[in-house]
């Protein structure tokens, strides 16, 4: 008993600040570990693509590069991930021994079932995005938003946000939301990055909305106020 | 070291401070906002390749062209087809809601055989083979007993390949009882036959008319080809043309007209003749026409019997209004008079049609721009007559059960008489096919129809939907819906240029259904012998291709083709045909019920938001019905506030509506736009079948009214019935 009392006295002699600071630091450290390390692991579930896809192999085999499978349809809409029918053009029967390919042919081609690909870049349903405007009109490179996906030999793990149900690629791999490359995040701010800074060609008469607010659906005001300024109805260019 | 309250608080504070500099709160805030803007339980249709298919809407006889928008293999929207001669991009509420008839809950998904009592709703799912052999066995038995004439069919129209396949089937089988759903087309056809001596339909050059006198026709309530009429009406408004609407109720059409003249219901023919009298007496008639057959007798009739004062008394319209209306009509450069009440689904009194047609003839607008043309459809169905064996020959010699062609020599089909003939024991049917029709709902006096159907031992429905008739059938052989099948769609519907359109499969059949044309052929082939020989085609599609010949390619490419001619007057106009003289002398159709026990008169009204034929309102459409028409699950009756006061009924009160034929609980809606003494009830409500969105809402007008045979045509001419309203 006496020993403890002594210790207590010692502590109080040093002031009560010691353990309080210690526990503050402990709390701080624990929350930092939780927030930066554990939380992202809890937030995202890890899913494997139904079939491991090799972009490099396919790119070598097809004639028109990326456009062989990811093409613009006649009406200007973008085909995105190919449908089974396109795959079947070459893969009616398994070409080679690869177990992935055998699985693909047996499970999907033979049954006429579409492959339930997990789409890394799928935006929330409230977002409207036109590939044609960006790729055809603004002549942007696919890699600007999608990165070096075409150079991948395996499908990477798809991480799904347990709250929103959307891919981690939208927020970005880095949980802090920071990025080094343009393709590492796909949030609205990332759209704004170009739309507020870049000079965008004004030759847009063929597009269905008035030219005066197309190039800059919203722009950052110069000066002290850094808030986003929107033009009337500009929201509905991108948001449903 | 003592771990106390302070340490714990310090730990928590440290945790909070630390959390603030992790991404956790900011990320959660962002995620929860995304989550709340995209509720995971809100269905998001999958994206895919967009495509469009041109086809024809078959939900009403209007024949509108449609452009169906698809995403991959799923239909997502139906739009009016741009450039189509009927609707040019426009579409009505029903047409827009057609998707719900494709994907909705009311479809019959596989052949069904009744296992419980009729109408009990107990069904056994059977295969197509079983279904066809079941029908075949029954029909073979009936035929071998020499009762082939006791098989009948009820179909939606008489033109097009599908109705003609039924007709051919019955002919080869040995039955004359091919019945069609009646409409004003039957009355107009007969009017032209009697007055102009042509076998043709009335085609209205509505777009070019400049004074439209409508005897209760719901120009914007679904009359004729509905979208075409909306467009014509808009064009009249834009170009300052005049529309005068004559009817007892301020309908939407009346409200949008230049002048609404309320009239005592059922006296429209008298008004037309009264107008004719003013026109003739004031020498405003076209001089050429006065040389026509029967003109003098007609002149004598209208001058003696339909003087302005007398007509004013009959119709309740002031003499001054009658005179000025007649003068304005006759002086207009392109006047046009039309009739057929509401949507024109009740054939109506032939008197009225002849009187109105005589009015058109008087002002010289028959076969003129902006007038009434006699039009004929090109009959592209050139099948050789089927070979008939002795049973078929004998059967076809028998008189039709409905008396069409015999008792009523000018009429082809009299579905309205079927119930009475069967119920009175004057005739009977052993088996009945029903396709594209829902007589248990849409024919007047539903109770009598139900009794009659109860006396038919074998009823086969080809309906795609679980409608009232299908629910009371013994066997349902579900047809593809119109978005899943090929079919030629010949359209008259008052068009001055008849059209044939091609309905085509927009999506593959969603369920285990079969094209009705294929089923008819399969049954015939299973019956064998001459029956099988009468149908040499491999499939309905093959039959359609062969029948349409060169038209097929045009139809596949364009979706429609003009399909008919305007026929010139053969001989002159007959103002006073024999048939009229001997039978009725333009006397009006009386209304059923005694004025003492039923002091009010009940009339129906049509709305573009309520389908009242084979198709019931899809969920979207029924949602669009105002709460002055349907409140909760009760239909509203319209009465004038004066009538309400006399009966002690206030707005929103429940009441019982009694007629000699039935009784229904209704809600009272006081409405200045209806004549005192009249009760109006919407048609298209009170379904007992279809889905939960439609069944049990309001009451069926047809349960409250009985048919009234027109003395010349035999067609149903009932325009109303006596009624009584009592407080609940």
* pLDDT confidence band for A8 (50 / 70 / 90): very low
SS (H, E, C) B337-387: EEEEEECCCCCCCHHHHHHHHHHHHHCCCECCCCCEEEEEECCCCCCCCCC
The reply to whether A40 falls in a domain is: yes
Measured between beta carbons, the chain A residues lying within 8 angstroms of B34 are 124, 163-164, 166
As a whole number, mean pLDDT of residues B93-109 equals 94
**C-beta atoms of A34 and B17 within 8 A:** no
- Going by C-alpha positions, the residue among A186, A94, A27, A64 that lies closest to residue B10 is A27
HSE-CB for A227 with a 13 A CA cutoff: 4
Strands B74-80 and B458-461: unpaired
Report the predicted TM-score, pTM, of the whole model to 2 decimal places.
Answer: 0.86
The reply to whether B574 falls in a domain is: no
The residues in A 182-221 lying below 8 A from B, measured between CB atoms, are none
Q: Which residue of A has its CA nearest to B7?
A: A20
Same structural domain, B626 and B683: yes
Task: Measure CB to CB from residue B49 to each of A27, A32, A73 and give the nearest one.
Answer: A73
pLDDT for the residue numbered B585 = 57
Give the burial class of B361: count Cβ atoms within 10 A of its Cβ; 0-12 exposed, 13-18 middle, 19 or more buried. Answer: buried
CATH of the domain at B358: 3.40.228.10
pLDDT for the residue numbered A74 = 87
Same structural domain, B409 and B545: yes
The reply to whether A6 falls in a domain is: yes
Q: For residue range B392-414, what is the model confidence (pLDDT) as tens digits?
A: 999 999 999 998 888 888 889 99
Last residue of a domain, one of B350, B370, B390: B370
CATH of the domain at B403: 3.40.50.740
Give, to the nearest 10 degrees, the angle between helix B540-548 and helix B161-173: 110
Same structural domain, B234 and B175: no
Same structural domain, B242 and B323: yes
- Going by C-alpha positions, the residue among B484, B483, B489, B487 that lies closest to residue B561 is B489
CA distance B104 to B566: 41
Query: Chains A and B: how many Cβ contacts under 8 Å?
Result: 117
The reply to whether B291 falls in a domain is: yes
Same structural domain, B387 and B284: no
CA distance A129 to B205: 48
Query: Which residue's entry shows tokens 């008819």?
Result: B520
Give, to the nearest 10 degrees, the angle between helix B161-173 and helix B516-527: 20
DSSP, res A22: H
Measured between beta carbons, the chain A residues lying within 8 angstroms of B10 are 19-24, 27
Q: Which residue of B has its CA nearest to A170?
A: B31
Query: Which residue's entry shows tokens 């080679």?
Result: A96
CA distance A67 to A69: 5
pLDDT for the residue numbered B22 = 92
Mean pLDDT over the full length of chain A: 79
Percent share of chain B, pLDDT over 90: 78
- Going by C-alpha positions, the residue among B681, B717, B718, B715 that lies closest to residue B701 is B681
Range of the domain at A13: 2-45
The reply to whether A153 falls in a domain is: no
Whether B624 shows a pLDDT value over 50: the answer reads yes
Same structural domain, B156 and B211: no
* pLDDT confidence band for B579 (50 / 70 / 90): low
The reply to whether B94 falls in a domain is: no
What's the Cα-to-Cα distance from B13 to each of A26, A35, B27, rounded to whole Å?
A: 10, 15, 21
Whether B656 shows a pLDDT value over 70: the answer reads yes
Q: For residue range A73-90, what is the model confidence (pLDDT) as tens digits?
A: 888 889 899 989 889 988
Give the burial class of A211: count Cβ atoms within 10 A of its Cβ; 0-12 exposed, 13-18 middle, 19 or more buried. Answer: exposed
Same structural domain, B20 and B123: no
Q: Which residue of A has its CA nearest to B52?
A: A75
Handedness of CA B244, B249, B250, B251 (dihedral sign): negative
The reply to whether A22 falls in a domain is: yes
- Establish if A20 touches chain B: CB-CB under 8 angstroms: yes
Same structural domain, B604 and B509: no
The reply to whether B407 falls in a domain is: yes
Q: A82-91 contacts: CB < 8 A, separation 24 or more?
A: A83/A114, A83/B48, A83/B49, A83/B72, A84/A108, A84/A109, A84/A112, A84/A113, A84/A114, A84/A115, A87/A115, A90/A61
The reply to whether A102 falls in a domain is: no
* pLDDT confidence band for B587 (50 / 70 / 90): low
- Domain total in chain B: 4
The reply to whether B63 falls in a domain is: no
Same structural domain, B227 and B335: yes
Same structural domain, B239 and B344: yes
Range of the domain at B687: 600-727
CA distance B580 to B350: 9
Strands (E) in B139-233, as ranges, are: 151-155, 178-180, 201-204, 211-217
Same structural domain, B242 and B327: yes
The reply to whether A34 falls in a domain is: yes
Q: For residue range B485-532, what is the model confidence (pLDDT) as tens digits?
A: 999 999 888 998 899 999 999 999 999 999 999 999 999 999 988 899
Whether the CB-CB separation of B70 and B53 falls below 8 Å is answered with yes
The reply to whether B78 falls in a domain is: no
**C-beta atoms of B3 and A79 within 8 A:** no
Other beta carbons within 10 angstroms of residue A103's beta carbon come to 14
**What is the maximum alpha-carbon separation in chain B?**
126
The reply to whether B142 falls in a domain is: yes
- Going by C-alpha positions, the residue among B411, B385, B491 that lies closest to residue B178 is B411
What number is the ipTM of this complex?
0.81
Q: Which of A3, A8, A20 to mutate to test the interface with B (most CBs of B within 10 A)?
A: A20
CA distance A19 to B67: 76
Task: Measure CB to CB from residue A31 to each of B18, B28, B35 and give the nearest one.
Answer: B18
Whether the CB-CB separation of B574 and B197 falls below 8 Å is answered with yes
Q: For residue range B294-315, what is the model confidence (pLDDT) as tens digits?
A: 888 889 889 988 999 999 999 9
Other beta carbons within 10 angstroms of residue B369's beta carbon come to 12
Q: Which residue of B has its CA nearest to A171?
A: B27
CA distance B644 to B667: 12
Tokens of A117: 């690909």
Q: E strand or H helix at A58, and its extent?
A: helix A55-61
Q: In what order do the strands lie in the sheet containing B65-71?
A: B50-56, B65-71, B74-80
Last residue of a domain, one of B517, B549, B564: B564
- Domain total in chain A: 1
Minimal C-alpha gap between A96 and chain B (Å): 30
Same structural domain, B390 and B357: no
Whether the CB-CB separation of A32 and B18 falls below 8 Å is answered with yes
Percent share of chain B, pLDDT over 70: 98
The residues in A 89-148 lying below 8 A from B, measured between CB atoms, are 124-126
* pLDDT confidence band for B712 (50 / 70 / 90): confident
């Amino acid at each position: 008993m006496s020993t403890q009392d002594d210790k207590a006295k010692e502590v109080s002699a040093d002031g009560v600040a010691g353990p309080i600071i210690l526990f503050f630091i402990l709390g701080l450290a624990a929350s930092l570990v939780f927030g930066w390390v554990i939380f992202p692991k809890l937030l995202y579930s890890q899913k494997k693509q139904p079939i491991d896809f090799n972009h490099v192999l396919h790119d070598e085999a097809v004639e028109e590069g990326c456009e062989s499978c990811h093409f613009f349809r006649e009406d200007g809409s973008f085909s995105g991930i190919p449908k089974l029918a396109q795959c079947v053009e070459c893969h009616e029967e398994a070409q080679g021994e690869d177990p992935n390919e055998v699985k693909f042919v047996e499970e999907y081609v033979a049954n006429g079932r579409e492959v339930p690909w997990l789409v890394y870049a799928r935006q929330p349903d409230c977002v409207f995005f036109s590939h044609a405007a960006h790729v055809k009109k603004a002549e942007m490179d696919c890699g600007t938003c999608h990165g070096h996906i075409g150079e991948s030999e395996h499908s990477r793990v798809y991480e799904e946000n347990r709250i929103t149900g959307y891919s981690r690629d939208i927020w970005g791999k880095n949980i802090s939301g920071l990025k080094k490359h343009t393709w590492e995040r796909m949030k609205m701010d990332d759209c704004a990055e170009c739309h507020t800074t870049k000079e965008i060609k004004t030759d847009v008469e063929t597009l269905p909305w008035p030219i005066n607010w197309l190039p800059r659906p919203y722009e950052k005001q110069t000066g002290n106020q850094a808030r986003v300024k929107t033009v009337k109805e500009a929201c509905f260019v991108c948001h449903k | 070291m003592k771990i106390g309250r302070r340490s714990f608080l310090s730990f928590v504070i440290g945790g909070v401070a630390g959390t603030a500099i992790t991404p956790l709160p900011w990320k959660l805030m962002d995620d929860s906002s995304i989550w709340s803007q995209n509720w995971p339980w809100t269905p998001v249709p999958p994206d895919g390749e967009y495509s469009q298919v041109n086809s024809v809407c078959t939900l009403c006889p209007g024949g509108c062209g449609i452009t169906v928008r698809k995403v991959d293999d799923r239909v997502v929207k139906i739009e009016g087809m741009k450039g189509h001669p009927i609707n040019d991009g426009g579409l009505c509420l029903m047409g827009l809601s057609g998707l719900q008839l494709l994907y909705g809950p009311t479809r019959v998904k596989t052949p069904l055989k009744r296992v419980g009592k009729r109408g009990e709703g107990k069904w056994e799912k059977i295969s197509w083979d079983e279904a066809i052999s079941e029908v075949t066995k029954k029909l073979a038995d009936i035929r071998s007993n020499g009762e082939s004439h006791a098989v009948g069919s009820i179909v939606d129209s008489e033109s097009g390949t599908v109705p003609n396949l039924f007709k051919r089937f019955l002919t080869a089988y040995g039955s004359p009882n091919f019945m069609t759903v009646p409409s004003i087309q039957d009355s107009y056809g007969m009017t032209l036959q009697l007055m102009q001596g042509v076998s043709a339909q009335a085609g209205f050059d509505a777009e070019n008319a400049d004074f439209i006198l409508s005897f209760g026709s719901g120009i914007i309530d679904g009359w004729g080809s509905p979208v075409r009429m909306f467009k014509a009406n808009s064009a009249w408004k834009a170009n300052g043309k005049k529309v005068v609407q004559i009817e007892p109720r301020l309908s939407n059409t009346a409200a949008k007209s230049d002048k609404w003249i309320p009239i005592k219901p059922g006296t429209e023919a008298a008004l037309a003749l009264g107008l004719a009298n003013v026109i003739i007496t004031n020498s405003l008639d076209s001089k050429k026409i006065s040389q026509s057959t029967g003109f003098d007798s007609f002149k004598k009739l209208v001058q003696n019997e339909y003087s302005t004062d007398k007509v004013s008394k009959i119709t309740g319209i002031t003499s001054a209004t009658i005179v000025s209306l007649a003068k304005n009509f006759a002086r207009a450069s392109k006047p046009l008079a039309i009739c057929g009440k509401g949507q024109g689904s009740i054939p109506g009194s032939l008197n009225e049609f002849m009187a109105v047609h005589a009015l058109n003839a008087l002002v010289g607008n028959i076969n003129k721009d902006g007038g009434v043309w006699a039009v004929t459809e090109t009959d592209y169905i050139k099948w050789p007559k089927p070979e008939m064996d002795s049973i078929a020959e004998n059967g076809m010699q028998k008189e039709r059960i409905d008396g069409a062609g015999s008792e009523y020599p000018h009429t082809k089909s009299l579905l309205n008489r079927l119930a009475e003939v069967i119920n009175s024991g004057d005739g009977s049917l052993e088996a009945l096919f029903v396709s594209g029709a829902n007589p248990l709902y849409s024919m007047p006096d539903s109770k009598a129809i139900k009794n009659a159907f109860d006396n038919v031992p074998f009823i086969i429905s080809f309906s795609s939907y679980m409608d009232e008739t299908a629910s009371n059938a013994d066997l349902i052989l579900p047809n593809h819906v119109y978005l899943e099948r090929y079919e030629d769609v010949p359209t008259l519907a008052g068009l001055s240029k008849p059209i044939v359109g091609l309905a085509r499969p927009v999506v593959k059949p969603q369920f285990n259904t079969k094209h009705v044309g294929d089923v008819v052929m399969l049954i015939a082939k299973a019956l064998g012998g001459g029956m099988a020989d009468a149908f040499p085609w491999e499939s309905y599609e093959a039959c359609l291709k062969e029948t349409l010949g060169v038209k097929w390619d045009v139809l596949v490419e364009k979706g429609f083709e003009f399909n008919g001619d305007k026929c010139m007057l053969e001989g002159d106009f007959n103002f006073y045909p024999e048939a009229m003289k001997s039978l009725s002398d333009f006397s009006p159709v009386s209304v059923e019920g005694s004025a003492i026990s039923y002091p009010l008169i009940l009339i129906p009204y049509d709305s573009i938001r309520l389908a009242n034929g084979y198709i019931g309102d899809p969920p979207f459409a029924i949602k669009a019905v105002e709460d002055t028409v349907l409140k909760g699950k009760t239909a509203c009756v319209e009465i004038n506030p004066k009538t309400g006061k006399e009966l002690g009924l206030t707005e929103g009160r429940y009441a019982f509506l009694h007629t000699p034929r039935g009784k229904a609980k209704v809600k009272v809606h006081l409405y200045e736009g209806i004549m005192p003494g009249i009760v109006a009830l919407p048609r298209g409500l009170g379904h007992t079948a279809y889905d939960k969105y439609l069944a049990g809402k309001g009451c069926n007008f047809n349960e409250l009214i009985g048919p009234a045979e027109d003395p010349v045509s035999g067609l149903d001419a009932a325009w109303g019935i006596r009624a009584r309203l009592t407080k609940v």
